[in-house]
Amino acid sequence: MKNTKFARILRRLLGEEAGATMMEYVILAVMIAAAVTAAAIYFGNTAKNQMNVAGDAMVGNEASAATRREQAQEQQEKSSKAATEQAARFSNAADKVETFDAAGE
């Protein structure tokens, strides 16, 4: 389309699609960042505890390694339970949104 006055007005009315595409990428990046943050919060301490167990076992401190392993397992169970509950809440919220969308159609 030539750069006539009519073409400029038409482009202004229809809008640019590049901004909409960029916004989709921003939303996707925010969702990925939220998922990574949630995983780090729920499982970060567990990973740290497992590394401590491995370190204790490598230096031959077996009693400390056994104690830390038990603590790490307890922490992992708590984190896993919390993550499962959060996923269930998210799933319930998503079901409600889908139900609301279906009712509006």
Q: How many folded domains does the chain comprise?
A: 1
| Residue-level pLDDT at 100 | 55
Asked if residue 52 is part of any domain, the answer here is yes
Asked whether residue 6 is domain-assigned, the answer is no
Task: Tell me what pLDDT residue 41 has.
Answer: 79
Q: Domain for residue 7, yes or no?
A: no
pTM value is 0.41
Residues 6+ apart with CB under 8 A from 98: none
Asked, for residue 1, whether it belongs to a domain, the answer is no
Nearest C-alpha neighbor of 45 from the set 67, 75, 21: 75
Q: Is residue 95 part of a domain?
A: yes
Amino acid of residue 100:
F
Q: Is residue 39 part of a domain?
A: yes
Structural contact between residues 77 and 40, judged by C-beta atoms closer than 8 angstroms:
no
Which residues form the domain of 25? 16-104
Q: Has residue 29 been placed in a domain?
A: yes
3 within domain boundaries = no
| CB-CB contact of 86 with 38 (8 Å) | yes
Q: One digit per residue, pLDDT tens: the chain, 105 residues? A: 467 887 777 667 666 565 567 778 888 888 899 888 888 877 777 778 778 888 888 888 888 888 878 887 887 788 788 888 888 887 777 666 656 555 555
